[in-house]
């Protein structure tokens, strides 16, 4: 098949493939809230936060494309950095108490950012011209003292990875990171930037391995967040050194739990990519407009009903008709990536059967949607399992060389954790439970994983379980103000996405459970 045959909705991975502004990047009307908020040409943007698949990478790519065409600036993007791996992140984090972890990461990222900027000033004459000879000598000497001498530009992730691997004890950290040359280097960088072009550094790749040890990567990302926000405190760096990063929404929410939270509310340098139900509906609708007319029953009507040949679909388990819109979206994690993947999967299935989608039986559509939902559910369950393992891992595990036991960095461990988390969820008496039943579920999880597993909070953070809030289902949304711990509620609900992966969970709600969906009393 041609690429357009297998991915007519686009590539679900924003880091690969050609970049087409119109087809790949959907800009929604501002009435759809945070998903539509990005001002893609704003020089104020520093942080893009969102869940996996929310569109962070694609937005960074768009910003990078915009600034690459500006003659007064130089834009450097890092989308495939592999220099900072999970093992290094865990080992570095466990050198320090949990209470000071983010602080240590902030200092390390500050050094990495200034070292990276220095390498570009020294070794990219094409874009920055020749630095004053005396200042150049000073930059080279200070970089060699704090980091090492280099012969080419280095991105912040590369520098951070090298620094992390060079530190094996708190004493090493004191020597490498509190070296006085770093303060002098930052001052020299500011003096050099006053007479140079603006420098944009885009940092995206540290999100890739988050799923393997979420607890530890979150500390790493928090440190990066604070280091980036600190660069705006000096006039020169605020106007000449622009570091734009992507982080997980949970990292942003964790920042909001700190005493520094008020300074970040309504901060126009932070974009939180939260996807409401209405925003997902509009995203799906806009993606349909880019499909070839042959995909629709009426070629002049590019709607979901014309795409599938029906406006409703039978929910056989509950014995009710659902709108196709609701049916498809509630089988995703409410993210652009899942919507694109599901759309592509439906088209490929129709191609394999030799018919357009709108000629297929509803059973074919239900089977394909169920298969896709199991894939989405497995990814969420695997991340939840890894998060549970990271929560119960002894803080000195890496120093005794048994941290690998707790980190799900291979398929075997991931499968095992999916089974373990699923087995606990299969003890649920229903998809909707009371507060007492929630306590029983927590006790079951703690008996298997340990007292520090925070099982219900992990389910909440991964949008597996939500709460019944004023007659509607509410799940973690990824906004700066969202709670990191599950709110106390009378009832807790399992997202209907997970029912295909957990078919033995009894149905005790008369309607499907999804974010914002009305619930029976």
Spell out the SS3 assignment of 335-369. Answer: CHHHHHHHHHHHHHHHHHHCCCHHHCCHHHHHHHH
Backbone angles phi, psi at 409, to 5 degrees: -95, 10
Contacts of 16 (CB under 8 A, 6+ apart): none
Digit-coded pLDDT (tens) for 183-228:
999 999 999 999 888 999 999 878 778 888 888 999 999 999 999 9
Distance CA 108, CA 146 (A): 11
Which range (19-28, 313-322, 420-429, 490-499) has the least confidence? 19-28
Is-above-0.75 flag for pTM? yes
Q: Please tell me the distance from the alpha carbon of residue 360 to that of residue 308, in angstroms, as a whole number.
A: 8
Lowest mean pLDDT among 29-38, 58-67, 273-282, 404-413: 404-413
Query: What is the C-alpha to C-alpha distance for residues 276 and 282, in angstroms, rounded to an integer?
Result: 10
Identify the band that residue 43 occupies on the pLDDT scale cut at 50, 70 and 90.
confident
385 is written with which tokens?
């399992």
Q: What is the DSSP string of 410-461?
A: SHHHHHHHHHHHHHHHTT-SSSEEEHHHHHHHHHHHHHHH-TT--HHHHHHH
**What is the DSSP secondary structure assignment for residue 491, as one 8-state letter?**
E
What CA–CA distance (Å, rounded) separates 470 from 517?
A: 11
Nearest to 207 by CA among 39, 25, 15, 408: 15
* The pLDDT of residue 58: 86
Contact 340, 287 (CB under 8 A): yes
Here the tokens at position 222 are 């928090």
**pLDDT winner (highest mean) among 115-129, 251-265, 319-333, 410-424:** 319-333
Q: What percent of the chain has pLDDT over 90?
A: 62
Q: Are 215 and 391 spatial neighbours (Cβ–Cβ below 8 Å)? A: yes
Helices 156-165 & 86-93 angle (0-180, nearest 10): 60
DSSP type of residue 405: G
Please give the C-alpha separations between residue 137 and each of 37, 120, 185, 447, in angstroms, as whole numbers: 44, 14, 12, 61
Q: Report pLDDT for 128.
A: 74
For range 30-49, the mean pLDDT: 72
**CA gap 322, 89 in Å, rounded:** 45
pLDDT of residue 416: 83
How many residues belong to the chain?
521
pLDDT digits (tens, 9 = 90+) for 100-111: 999 999 999 999
Higher pLDDT, 170 or 42: 170
CB atoms within 10 A of CB 458: 25
> Cα separation of 53 and 338, whole Å?
7
Dump pLDDT digits (tens) for 315-363: 999 999 999 999 999 999 999 999 999 999 999 999 999 999 999 999 9
CA distance 495 to 501: 11
What pLDDT does residue 171 have?
96
Express as a percent the part of the chain with pLDDT over 70.
89
For residues 354 and 357, what is the distance between their CA atoms, to the nearest angstrom? 9
Mean pLDDT of 280-309: 91
Under DSSP, the state recorded for 518 is B
Q: Is the pLDDT of residue 3 over 70?
A: no
pLDDT at 405 over 50: no
Q: Which residue(s) pair with 145 in the sheet? A: none
Higher pLDDT, 508 or 405: 508
Using CA atoms, how far residue 483 sits from 105, 107, 221, 464, 476, in Å, is 23, 27, 18, 15, 7
The order of strands in the sheet holding 270-273 is 73-78, 198-203, 241-248, 47-50, 270-273
Q: What is the pLDDT of residues 354-394, one digit of tens each?
A: 999 999 999 999 999 999 999 999 999 999 998 998 888 87
- In DSSP terms, 472 is beta-bridged to 469, 518
Mean pLDDT, the chain, as a whole number?
Answer: 88
DSSP 43-82: TT--EEEE-TTSSHHHHHHHHHHHHHT-TTEEEEEESS--
Q: Which H or E run contains 239?
A: helix 235-240
Q: What is the pLDDT of residues 244-275, one digit of tens each?
A: 999 999 999 888 877 667 778 778 899 888 89
Instruction: Give the span between the Cα atoms of 521 and 186, in whole angstroms.
Output: 60
Do 98 and 225 contact (CB within 8 A), yes or no? no
**pLDDT for 435 beyond 70:** yes
Name the residue among 287, 305, 284 with its Cα closest to residue 296. 305
- Alpha-carbon separation of residue 388 from 243, 421, 461 (angstroms): 32, 9, 12
Pairing of strands 465-469, 491-494: antiparallel
* Helical (H) or strand (E) element with 492: strand 491-494
């Amino acid at each position: 098949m041609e690429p357009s045959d297998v991915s007519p909705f686009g590539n679900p991975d924003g880091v690969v493939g050609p970049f087409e502004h119109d087809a790949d990047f959907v800009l929604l009307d501002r009435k759809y809230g945070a998903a539509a908020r990005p001002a893609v040409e704003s020089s104020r943007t520093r942080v893009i936060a969102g869940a996996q698949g929310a569109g962070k990478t694609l937005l960074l790519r768009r910003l990078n494309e915009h600034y690459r065409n500006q003659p007064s600036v130089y834009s450097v993007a890092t989308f495939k950095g592999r220099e900072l791996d999970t093992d290094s992140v865990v080992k570095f984090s466990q050198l320090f108490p949990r209470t000071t972890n983010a602080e240590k990461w902030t200092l390390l990222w500050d050094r990495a950012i200034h070292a990276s900027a220095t390498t570009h000033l020294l070794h990219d004459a094409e874009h920055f011209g020749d630095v004053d000879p005396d200042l150049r000598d000073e930059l080279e000497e200070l970089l060699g003292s704090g980091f090492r001498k280099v012969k080419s530009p280095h991105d912040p992730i590369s520098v951070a990875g090298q620094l992390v691997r060079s530190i094996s004890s708190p004493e090493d950290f004191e020597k490498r990171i509190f070296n006085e040359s770093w303060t002098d280097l930052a001052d020299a960088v500011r003096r050099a930037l006053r007479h140079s072009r603006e420098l944009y550094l885009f940092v995206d790749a540290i999100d890739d391995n988050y799923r393997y040890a979420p607890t530890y990567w979150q500390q790493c990302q928090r440190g990066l967040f604070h280091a980036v926000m600190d660069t705006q405190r000096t006039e020169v760096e605020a106007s000449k050194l622009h570091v734009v990063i992507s982080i997980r929404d949970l990292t942003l929410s964790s920042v909001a739990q700190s005493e520094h939270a008020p300074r970040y509310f309504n901060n126009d340098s932070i974009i939180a990519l939260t996807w409401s139900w209405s925003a997902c509906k509009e995203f799906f609708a806009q993606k349909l407009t880019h499909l070839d007319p042959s995909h629709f029953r009426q070629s002049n009507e590019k709607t979901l009903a014309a795409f599938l040949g029906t406006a409703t679909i039978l929910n056989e388990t509950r014995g009710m008709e659902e709108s196709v819109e609701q049916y498809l979206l509630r089988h995703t994690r409410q993210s652009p990536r899942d919507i694109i993947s599901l759309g592509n999967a439906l088209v490929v299935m129709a191609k394999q059967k030799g018919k357009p989608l709108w000629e297929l039986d509803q059973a074919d559509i239900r089977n394909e949607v169920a298969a896709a939902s199991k894939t989405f559910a497995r990814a969420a369950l695997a991340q939840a399992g890894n998060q549970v393992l990271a929560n119960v891992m002894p803080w000195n595990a890496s120093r005794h060389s048994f941290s690998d036991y707790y980190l799900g960095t291979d398929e075997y461990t991931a499968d095992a954790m999916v089974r373990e988390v699923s087995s606990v969820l299969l003890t649920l008496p229903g998809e909707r439970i009371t507060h007492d039943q929630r306590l029983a579920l927590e006790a079951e999880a703690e008996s298997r994983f340990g007292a520090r597993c925070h099982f219900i909070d992990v389910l909440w953070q991964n949008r597996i379980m939500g709460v019944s809030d004023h007659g509607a289902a509410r799940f973690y949304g990824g906004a700066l103000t969202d709670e990191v711990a599950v709110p106390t509620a009378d009832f807790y609900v399992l997202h209907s996405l997970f029912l295909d992966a957990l078919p033995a969970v009894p149905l005790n709600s008369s309607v499907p459970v999804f974010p914002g969906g009305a619930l029976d009393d």
